[in-house]
Amino acid sequence: MLSCQKIIELASTRLNSSKLPNHQKMELTVHLWMCKTCRRYVGQLNSLQKFAKNIDQYNSKITLSPEARKRIQKKLG
């Protein structure tokens, strides 16, 4: 069985390129099935990737009142 560190590397590779050989995909799947910590970590990676892809959508929904903007600008100096 692969170490958790190797699984993290494989998961990152999969997120960045989606290209893993079949045997590595299987090793990743089996390890994640057995290891709750890695499963949680990979789930967090997936969530971060989805958020990063849609960050413009989230930014467009954030609005500040003119008063809040002035307070922030004053604090930033």
Q: Is residue 44's pLDDT more than 90?
A: yes
Average pLDDT over residues 53-60: 72
Q: What whole-number distance in Å separates Cα of residue 73 and Cα of residue 67?
A: 10
Q: Where are the domains positioned within the chain?
A: 4-76
pTM of the model: 0.64
Q: For the residues of 5-68, what is the DSSP string, one character each?
A: HHHHHHHHHHHHH----HHHHHHHHHHHHH-HHHHHHHHHHHHHHHHHHTHHHHHHH----HHH
pLDDT classification of 49: cutoffs 50, 70, 90: confident
pLDDT value at residue 58: 66
